[in-house]
């Protein structure tokens, strides 16, 4: 945890902001210098390490409660599939409904499940995306303070200002690879629910889950995913250390492996406002942005009220 008083923190931030003037940097890039100042002053390589561990523990409890109260919609096979295949595929793909409340795990289907009805695919992913966005409530970077006890994790009050799920599904239907760019520690438990559903519907889909390259505020790193409560996500994706040092995906700051995956992915899903700030100008048909609007500047840019949720295809962002 940070070992500085508020005056020292304010002085460090003011100094960094003064040095950043005229450099044309985005807020997530400026945050690199702010965080380096914190690390130097605290003599800690990861000042938010304990906060991130607690976030993962708290998020696990919240997700388990959510899945118990709002279970996954059943995936249904289309009418043109024979009854035996229908029953077998449904049993395999829908095992999340039974197991989620017990152990928060899902057995990935062992055969193609491409015959699910369009309606049931929409319902399942509508549910999964809404669970995933609740994870973006967690944030120690864009708010003056954050408290899990005060966070609004209510499923039934989720309010999207934009919701491009149909476009997302359209891209997924012909996709072989998905790059999922993660955000904060703790959100990974919510993301896991979406990854589970994606693998149930598209078992052939290769998913890469990209974290930050090193500690920055409470953003997720590969090291954080070694937490005992966070390891299950590896069943549904390949973990990827992006090399990015900022609390937002900056392509130029990514390592060669991540840039290669980014360039060749069929679908890219970037989570969180920091990733939105860094990627929203990239007009790329593959790119989708999922985040909660947490500040007045982004609210004004998106022409929505602060606090609204956004799931937008890059082509539908404000020009």
CATH number, domain with residue 169: 3.40.50.10880
Phi, psi of 153 (to 5 degrees): -105, 30
Tokens 């700030």 — which residue?
277
Together in a domain, 18 and 103? no
Nearest to 113 by CA among 75, 169, 79: 75
Asked whether residue 51 is assigned to any structural domain, the reply reads: no
* Structure-token pair, residue 116: 């699910």
Asked whether residue 48 is assigned to any structural domain, the reply reads: no
Together in a domain, 129 and 37? no
Together in a domain, 125 and 238? yes
Together in a domain, 13 and 60? no
pTM across the whole model: 0.86
Together in a domain, 12 and 131? no
Q: Please state, as a whole number, how many other Cβ atoms lie within 10 Å of the Cβ of residue 257.
A: 14
Which residue range is the domain that position 90 belongs to? 56-316
Together in a domain, 63 and 38? no
Asked whether residue 280 is assigned to any structural domain, the reply reads: yes
Is-contact 219 189, C-beta < 8 A? no
**What's the distance, CA 98 to chain centroid?**
24
pLDDT tens for the chain, 319 residues: list them. 444 455 565 566 566 566 656 666 666 677 787 777 777 777 888 988 999 999 999 999 999 999 999 999 999 998 765 554 555 555 555 665 444 445 555 444 444 446 899 999 999 999 999 999 999 999 876 555 678 887 889 999 999 999 999 999 999 999 999 999 999 999 999 999 999 999 999 999 999 999 999 999 899 999 999 999 999 999 999 999 999 999 999 999 999 999 999 999 999 999 999 999 999 999 899 999 999 999 999 999 999 999 999 999 997 444 4
Measured distance CA(161)–CA(311) in Å, rounded? 8
Together in a domain, 38 and 60? no
């Amino acid at each position: 945890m940070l070992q500085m008083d508020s005056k020292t923190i304010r002085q460090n931030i003011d100094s960094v902001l003064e040095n950043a003037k005229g450099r044309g940097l985005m807020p997530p890039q400026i945050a690199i210098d702010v965080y380096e100042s914190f690390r130097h002053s605290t003599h800690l390589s990861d000042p938010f390490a304990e906060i991130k561990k607690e976030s993962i523990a708290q998020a696990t409890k919240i997700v388990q409660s959510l899945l118990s109260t709002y279970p996954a919609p059943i995936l249904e096979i289309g009418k043109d599939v024979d009854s035996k295949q229908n029953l077998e595929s449904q049993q395999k793909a829908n095992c999340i409904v039974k197991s989620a409340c017990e152990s928060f795990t899902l057995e990935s289907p062992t055969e193609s499940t491409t015959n699910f009805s369009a309606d049931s695919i929409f319902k399942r992913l509508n549910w999964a995306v809404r669970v995933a966005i609740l994870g973006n409530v967690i944030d120690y970077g864009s708010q003056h303070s954050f408290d899990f006890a005060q966070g609004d994790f209510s499923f039934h009050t989720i309010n999207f200002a934009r919701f491009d799920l149909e476009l997302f599904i359209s891209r997924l239907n012909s996709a072989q690879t998905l790059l999922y760019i993660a955000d904060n520690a703790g959100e990974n438990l919510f993301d896991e629910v979406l990854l589970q559903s994606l693998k149930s519907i598209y078992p052939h889909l290769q998913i890469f889950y990209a974290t930050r390259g090193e500690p920055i505020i409470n953003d997720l790193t590969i090291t954080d995913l070694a937490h005992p409560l966070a390891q299950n996500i590896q069943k549904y994706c390949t973990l990827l250390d992006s090399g990015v040092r900022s609390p937002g995906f900056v392509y130029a700051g990514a390592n060669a492996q991540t840039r290669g995956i980014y360039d060749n992915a069929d679908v890219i899903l970037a989570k969180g406002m920091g990733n939105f700030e860094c990627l929203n100008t990239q007009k790329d048909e593959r790119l989708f942005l999922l985040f909660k609007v947490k500040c007045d500047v982004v609210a004004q840019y998106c022409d929505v009220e602060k606090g609204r949720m956004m799931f937008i295809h890059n082509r539908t962002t404000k020009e």
